């Protein structure tokens, strides 16, 4: 939807977390970050840690899992 590439996956150890790695235009990345900070309706987002790094180009699409 935002034209980003990367992946998202659930991490359960040591605590329940979601990891998102995304590449694309900065404005689209900022929109994704805003959505992650809100979370879906049934979620409770307590913290979002952000680390900006240069794109690697390793992703061709956006994968879940």
Distance (Å, whole) CA 3 – CA 15: 30
The yes-or-no verdict on residue 14 having pLDDT over 90 is no
The yes-or-no verdict on residue 6 having pLDDT over 90 is yes
CB contact at 8 A, 32 and 4: yes
Domain that holds residue 24: 5-64
3-state helix, strand, coil split of the chain in percent (to 5) is 20, 25, 55
Model pTM score: 0.86
- Total tally of structural domains belonging to the chain: 1
The yes-or-no verdict on residue 15 having pLDDT over 90 is no
């Amino acid at each position: 939807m935002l034209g980003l590439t990367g992946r998202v996956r659930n991490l359960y150890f040591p605590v329940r977390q979601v990891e998102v790695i995304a590449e694309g235009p900065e404005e689209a990345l900022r929109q994704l970050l805003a959505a992650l900070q809100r979370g879906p309706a049934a979620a409770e987002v307590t913290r979002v840690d952000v680390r900006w790094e240069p794109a690697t180009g390793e992703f061709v699409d956006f994968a879940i899992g």
